Amino acid sequence: MSNLTEIHGFMDIIIVYRATLVLACCTSQYACIYCYARPTHEYPGFSAELDFETKILAKMDAPKLLRKELSSPKWVPQVIAMSGVSDCYQPLERHLKLSRGCLEVLAEFRNPVCIITKNQLVTRDIDILSQLARYNAVSVMISMTTFNDRLRRILEPRASHPEHRLRAVERLREADIPVGVMVAADYCGAQRRRDTSDH
């Protein structure tokens, strides 16, 4: 089974490949209440509610499969997106190290990668990300839903604290790794409007 899914971008000019580190569906240990991927967990017969948050299906051979894809004579180097629907730095990654294994393969092949995550755990892999950055082959986007931790505990109870995410941005920038902040779903603006209306 392939790790890579072809995604056609704007007017089919940009083609990006998404590295899927979960099997057949998307799951989220973060338990984000707003996640649009919840229904996909029903494909293998699980529920979109509690099962989505607790039955995590990991593709244990993801680095090996990725190496096979990149070793193919048919492979033309292009950007691989890690994350998108499912965050590649979910809490289980701390132990499984599948994302780290995939990054090691990508660095070996100098294949470009972009990462979207809401977990400060991405900083664990600064050593590999730095190797990729030397070849302009990496970018990291830290997803921020809200800067209000009370609201974060409601929306995404097991995601990194907003301050930890901002610290991750700092650490990545200090290591000269291209990094940005992605505001989605935008509860940041909703919180600002609420704070303003309270005064």
- Interatomic CA distance for residues 18 and 27, integer angstroms: 15
For 88-125, the pLDDT digits (tens) are 888 888 888 989 999 999 999 999 999 989 899 999 99
CATH of domain 4-197: 3.80.30
Q: Tell me the pLDDT of the chain averaged across its residues.
A: 76
Confidence grade of residue 26 (pLDDT, cut at 50, 70, 90): very low
For 167-185, the pLDDT digits (tens) are 999 999 999 999 999 886 6
Q: Higher model confidence: residue 193 or residue 154?
A: 154
Residue pair 128/134 in contact by the 8 Å Cβ criterion: no
The pTM (predicted TM-score) of the whole model is: 0.76
Tokens 């755990």 -> residue: 121
pLDDT for 23: 34
- Interatomic CA distance for residues 14 and 12, integer angstroms: 6
Task: Return the H-helix or E-strand segment holding 189.
Answer: helix 188-197
Looking from the CA of 55 toward its CB, the CA atoms found within 13 Å total 17
Q: Higher model confidence: residue 130 or residue 90?
A: 130
Confidence grade of residue 2 (pLDDT, cut at 50, 70, 90): low
Of 19, 38, 21, nearest in space to 114 by CA: 19
Of 88, 93, 121, nearest in space to 18 by CA: 88
Query: Domain extents for the chain?
Result: 4-197
